[in-house]
């Protein structure tokens, strides 16, 4: 093989805007580069513009201006290749209730002109645990089953990118675990995953990189670990040897509260103090420390701070 150039990103979005008929500006200049091979989380409060962005990539919504490239293919100049490079599970569940799951996948394969010998409808149904429903009517499936069928449908043409828009909204915990297991497996096989979710814990656990959008703009786009490190507030719970009569005070404390008679909850900013200083201050107030529990800041802290500021 000859030297190959650096691979183009999985998705590249530049100055993307969308004004809906009626005047709602849903996207106000989105810029995003989603690298290949990752699990990328697109987060943002309701109405932020996540689905609009994804539906533009899917060809379901026409953009107002800007460009989008999928696997290097411009969605305007090369729509067929762009479309073939991506599989999308939309937020809204829509499909023909009179087809069986097997037929649904076969129809989709036909739509993408996947040759018979390369179809793998049963394999996909097995992967999403719907094998035994292969010949049931789609309308008899539960919500969670329909969602999984849509994931299989999105993978029919073996795209290198799979996008899931709020895939676990309304899906129970067990199904969620199954869905994420499948998504992880696809990612291990090399599929780039993009998902939107409201469950921050899930994004934190699953995603390599996270973009947060609000009011149609990108407020941040970083590796998950860096994003979490941005949270400055840390909390330490200190259990002491006697009932606390007077709350200790110290410049290193941001906030101090009593959780119960002998437990203090102290918040401090990690750029201004460290746990050692906080604990020393407690001891200096005459209390002996019996136990200490710390809580690290999580994505929720960062998310709330960023979206509140924007
Ligand atoms: P999210 O998926 O982040 O919740 P959406 O992309 O669905 O956000 O919506 C972004 C904004 O665009 C919202 O204010 C929403 O009400 C508006 N919007 C979405 N779809 C339409 C539409 N078809 N017509 C008019 N406004 C829309
Ligand atoms: Mg949405």
Among the listed residues 237, 242, 253, 232, the one whose alpha carbon sits nearest the alpha carbon of residue 297 = 232
pLDDT, residue 269, reads: 84
Question: Considering its fold, how many domains does the chain have in total?
Answer: 1
Protein residue closest via CA to atom 23 of ligand 1: 20
Residue 82 covered by a domain: no
Ligand nearest to the CA of 50: 1
Give ∠ CA 239-253-288 in degrees, rounded to 5.
30
Residue 69 covered by a domain: no
Residue 95 covered by a domain: no
Ligand nearest to the CA of 22: 1
- Rounded-to-integer distance, Cα 230 and Cα 207, Å: 16
Q: Residue 284 maps to which CATH number?
A: 3.30.70.1560
Of ligand 1's listed atoms, the one at least distance from the Cα of 166 is 2
Give, for ligand 1, the residue of 18, 52, 217 to mutate: max count of ligand atoms closer than 8 Å to Cβ. 52
Task: Evaluate whether 213 touches 310 at the Cβ level (below 8 Å).
Answer: no
What is the 17 CA–ligand 1 centroid distance (Å)? 12
Residue 277 covered by a domain: yes
Of ligand 1's listed atoms, the one at least distance from the Cα of 55 is 6
pLDDT, residue 215, reads: 92
pLDDT, residue 1, reads: 53
Per-residue pLDDT for the chain (310 aa), expressed as one digit of tens each?
556 777 799 999 999 999 999 999 999 999 999 999 999 999 988 899 999 999 999 999 999 999 999 999 999 999 999 999 999 998 887 777 789 999 999 999 999 999 999 999 999 999 999 999 999 987 788 888 888 899 999 999 999 999 999 987 767 788 788 888 889 999 999 999 999 987 777 888 899 999 999 999 999 999 998 887 776 778 899 999 999 999 999 998 988 999 999 999 998 888 888 889 999 999 999 999 999 998 766 667 677 777 775 5
Ligand nearest to the CA of 307: 1
Per residue, the 3-state secondary structure of 264-285, as one string, reads: EEEEEECCCCCHHHHHHHHHHC
pLDDT, residue 270, reads: 80
Residue 227 covered by a domain: no
Structural domain of 273:
233-297
Residue 195 covered by a domain: no
pLDDT, residue 257, reads: 92
Neighbours of ion ligand 2 (CB under 5 A): 50-51, 91
Pairing of strands 73-74, 65-70: antiparallel
pLDDT, residue 69, reads: 98
Give, for ligand 1, the residue of 26, 50, 196, 197 to mutate: max count of ligand atoms closer than 8 Å to Cβ. 26
């Amino acid at each position: 093989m000859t030297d190959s150039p650096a691979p183009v990103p999985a998705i590249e979005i530049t100055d993307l805007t969308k004004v809906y008929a009626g005047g709602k500006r849903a996207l106000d200049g989105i810029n995003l580069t989603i690298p290949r091979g990752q699990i990328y989380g697109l987060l943002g409060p309701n109405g932020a513009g996540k689905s609009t962005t994804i539906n533009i990539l899917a060809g379901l919504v026409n953009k107002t201006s800007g460009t989008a490239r999928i696997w290097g293919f411009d969605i305007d100049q090369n729509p067929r290749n762009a479309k073939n490079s991506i599989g999308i599970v939309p937020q809204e569940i829509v499909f023909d209730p009179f087809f069986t799951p097997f037929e649904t996948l076969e129809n989709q394969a036909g739509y993408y002109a996947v040759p018979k010998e390369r179809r793998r409808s049963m394999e996909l149904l097995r992967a999403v645990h719907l094998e035994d429903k292969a010949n049931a009517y789609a309308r008899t499936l539960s919500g969670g089953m329909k969602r999984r069928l849509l994931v299989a449908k999105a993978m029919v043409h073996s795209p290198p990118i799979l996008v899931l828009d709020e895939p676990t909204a309304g899906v129970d915990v067990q199904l969620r675990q199954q869905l994420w297991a499948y998504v992880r497996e696809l990612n291990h096989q090399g599929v780039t995953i993009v998902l939107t979710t409201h469950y921050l814990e899930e994004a934190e656990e699953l995603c390599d990189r996270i973009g947060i959008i609000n009011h149609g703009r990108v407020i941040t786009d970083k590796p998950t670990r860096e994003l979490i490190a941005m949270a400055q507030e840390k909390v330490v719970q200190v259990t002491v040897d006697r009932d606390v009569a007077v709350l200790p005070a110290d410049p290193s404390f941001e906030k101090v509260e009593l959780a119960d008679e002998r437990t203090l909850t102290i918040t401090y900013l990690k750029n201004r103090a460290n746990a050692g200083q906080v604990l020393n201050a407690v001891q200096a107030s005459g209390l002996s420390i019996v136990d200490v529990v710390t809580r690290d800041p999580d994505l929720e802290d960062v998310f709330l701070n960023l979206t509140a500021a924007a």
